[in-house]
Amino acid sequence: MTVRTDERAPGEGMSRRRRVLVFGGLMLAGLMSSLDATVLATALPTIAGDLGGADRLAWVSTAYILATSVTVPLSGRLGDLFGRKPVCLIGLLAFLAGSAACGAAPSMGWLIAFRAVQGAGAGLLTGSMFGLTGDLFEPRERARYQGYSAINFAVATVAGPLLGGFLTDHASWRWAFYLNLPLGAAAAIVIVAFLRLPKPDREPRVDYLGIVLLGAAVTCFTLFTSRAGTHHAWTSPAVPALGAGAAVLFAAWFLAERRAAEPVVPPRLFRDRSFAVACAVAAVGGATGFGLATYLPMFFQVVGGADATRSGLLVLPMMLGLLASSLLAGRYIARTGRYHRLPAASMAVSAAGVALLASVDAGTSMLAAGLFMAVLGFGAGLSQQVVVLIAQNAAPPRDLGAAGAGVFATRMLGTAAGTAVFGAIVTNRFAAEAAGRVPGDVPPLRDAVRPEVLDALPAPVRDGVADAFAHAFSSVFLSALPLLLAGLAAALLLRHVPLSPRGGG
């Protein structure tokens, strides 16, 4: 692969102080959108009481995630075509408009609709952040700054539910949305005042067919992974219909992209080994790191007897491990310029963490469980931002945004798929284990994980449920090991390609 060194990054004409200020504004915007994916976790019961429509409550979160999943892969290519600053600002304005509307929502239906607007804005923001970081910093320095973005994820995961609960108890759940307005205004002022980028020097040719097909495919896939096994039984006709629809639409999208003048995610990128490996590692990391993390608070509630707030805090070791390794990986790349062994290290350390977590049972101390989670988090963080850097370094400058957003979207799809598959495993294994360990009637898993149901059970039944869930939990982590080993095999194929000054090959 030939690395071109004669192209200047669009942000090279800006002073370092100006670039750092802009990055600070992007971090603020990213934190705001990340928090909104988690802040309502503890406020949803109160929202249902105020607005009614409890049967549609899950859509408050699903609408946000769905809209974000659709717009993230689009944002990179739109930024390549029209400029990342306008796409970023449009995303920010959409997010703020959605926030204000959510705070004033008069009914559950309107809240769901406005959450979709919020999610669409968040997707445009997220994809723009990767492209803008590529514009502002050369790759070695970019690695360090992309590592900082892990702070947003760690803070949002831990602080989001706590903040939502605090605002709900001491003010109103509506302030979880209104709080975005001053934060977003500050981010917008910084971006408008300090970000100076030249306009793209090519005529935009929008791939409308690719956008429609990809949006429909991601919608089907997200609904499939979020509804199967929860709102629809796996035997329900809706589940295979959504899965088949996603497969057909993704295939149609890929075929359409081969003929498009400016495809959303150019198929030629996948012919580059570095980009293909980055996508594979991102998908595996999303499934095993973030997909498995979904069930950790559930474990502490059912097996350890922790309440919802405490169980959320107990995942803090994993977030700290992820944050530490993301920052260390960024500094390592900035100092040495080498990165190609980090994805393999990520898969290997994550596999060790998964194997350790598979040994956790009702007798495991919280300290030991916390250390095991920290190992898994450390492994996940070694590749979280590195895969974006690898993808951007493999792409030509004209595809920088599409490459970064594409690999991030792959991780989101991996997370969704992992959450669904591991959820099916834990549900089936719990039913099998509970049949032999729980005296009397066995409550279904969706009831067994509710604290009020657990507290009402007789002590022998409650102990049997905890023991059955601990064994089911172990099966879930063991099932993740082959996936991580496959990710390790793919990561070992990665070759070292020097980081180009521009970040594109």
Structure confidence by residue, pLDDT tens digits, 489-501: 999 999 888 876 5
Q: How many CB atoms lie within 10 A of CB 365?
A: 9
Kindly indicate the confidence band of residue 55, based on its pLDDT and cuts at 50, 70 and 90.
confident
For the cut 80, the answer to whether the pLDDT of residue 19 exceeds it is: yes
For the cut 50, the answer to whether the pLDDT of residue 6 exceeds it is: no
Distance CA 149, CA 386 (A): 12
Cα-flanking dihedrals φ and ψ of residue 286, to 5°? -65, -45
Q: In sequence order, what are the beta bridge partners of 232?
A: 228
Could you tell me which CATH number the domain at 265-505 has? Answer: 1.20.1250.20
Q: Which residue has the tokens 């190609």?
A: 340
Cα-flanking dihedrals φ and ψ of residue 137, to 5°? -130, 145
Contact 149, 27 (CB under 8 A): yes
Residues whose CB is less than 8 angstroms from the CB of residue 500 and which lie 6 or more positions away in sequence, other chains included: 3, 4, 5, 139, 393
pLDDT tens readout for residues 124-177:
998 888 889 888 888 888 888 888 888 887 888 778 877 887 888 788 889 989
Give the model's pLDDT for residue 98.
95
Kindly indicate the confidence band of residue 293, based on its pLDDT and cuts at 50, 70 and 90.
confident
Give the model's pLDDT for residue 1.
39
pLDDT tens readout for residues 344-401:
999 999 999 999 999 887 788 888 988 999 999 999 999 988 999 999 888 888 888 8
Give whole-number Cα distances, 205 to 79, 266, 300, in Å: 12, 13, 51
Distance CA 93, CA 344 (A): 39
Tell me what the mean pLDDT of segment 269-290 comes to.
91
Give the model's pLDDT for residue 299.
79
Q: Which residue has the tokens 């802009």?
A: 22
Kindly indicate the confidence band of residue 118, based on its pLDDT and cuts at 50, 70 and 90.
very high
Tell me what the mean pLDDT of segment 193-208 comes to.
83
Give the model's pLDDT for residue 252.
95
From first CA to last CA, the distance across the chain in angstroms is 7
* Whether the domain at 1-205 and the domain at 265-505 fall into the same CATH topology: yes
For the cut 90, the answer to whether the pLDDT of residue 120 exceeds it is: yes
Tell me what the mean pLDDT of segment 322-330 comes to.
92
pLDDT tens readout for residues 26-53:
999 988 888 887 788 777 778 888 888 7
Which tokens belong to 432? 């099998």
Give the model's pLDDT for residue 307.
66
Mean pLDDT of the chain: 85
Distance CA 332, CA 215 (A): 37
User: Quick one: fold of 1-205?
Assistant: Growth Hormone; Chain: A; (1.20.1250)
For the cut 90, the answer to whether the pLDDT of residue 459 exceeds it is: no
Q: In sequence order, what are the beta bridge partners of 228?
A: 232
Tell me what the mean pLDDT of segment 418-441 comes to.
80
Give whole-number Cα distances, 463 to 109, 276, 475, in Å: 40, 46, 19
Give the model's pLDDT for residue 4.
39
Give whole-number Cα distances, 13 to 8, 87, 135, 360, in Å: 9, 20, 11, 53
Which of 196, 258, 198, 200 is closest to 80 using CA atoms? 200
Distance CA 351, CA 288 (A): 9
Kindly indicate the confidence band of residue 446, based on its pLDDT and cuts at 50, 70 and 90.
low
Each domain of the chain, given as residue ranges in start order, spans: 1-205, 208-260, 265-505
220-229, 323-332, 447-456, 486-495: the lowest-pLDDT one: 447-456
For the cut 50, the answer to whether the pLDDT of residue 483 exceeds it is: yes
> Where on the phi/psi map is residue 173: left (φ > 0), alpha (ψ -120 to 50), or beta?
alpha
**Which stretch, 104-108, 153-157, 451-455, has highest mean pLDDT?**
104-108
Tell me what the mean pLDDT of segment 106-121 comes to.
94
pTM for this one? Answer: 0.84
Tell me what the mean pLDDT of segment 453-474 comes to.
79
Give the model's pLDDT for residue 442.
65
For the cut 70, the answer to whether the pLDDT of residue 8 exceeds it is: no
Which tokens belong to 172? 């109103």
pLDDT tens readout for residues 212-253:
999 999 899 988 887 776 666 667 788 889 889 999 999 999
56-70, 122-136, 289-303: the lowest-pLDDT one: 289-303
For the cut 70, the answer to whether the pLDDT of residue 69 exceeds it is: yes
pLDDT tens readout for residues 297-324:
777 777 777 666 676 677 889 889 999 9
For the cut 60, the answer to whether the pLDDT of residue 3 exceeds it is: no
For the cut 70, the answer to whether the pLDDT of residue 5 exceeds it is: no
Give the model's pLDDT for residue 106.
93
Residues whose CB is less than 8 angstroms from the CB of residue 6 and which lie 6 or more positions away in sequence, other chains included: none
Give the model's pLDDT for residue 452.
66
Give the burial class of 468: count Cβ atoms within 10 A of its Cβ; 0-12 exposed, 13-18 middle, 19 or more buried: buried
Which tokens belong to 269? 């990128």
Kindly indicate the confidence band of residue 503, based on its pLDDT and cuts at 50, 70 and 90.
very low
Give the model's pLDDT for residue 262.
87
8-17, 256-265, 357-366, 419-428: the lowest-pLDDT one: 8-17
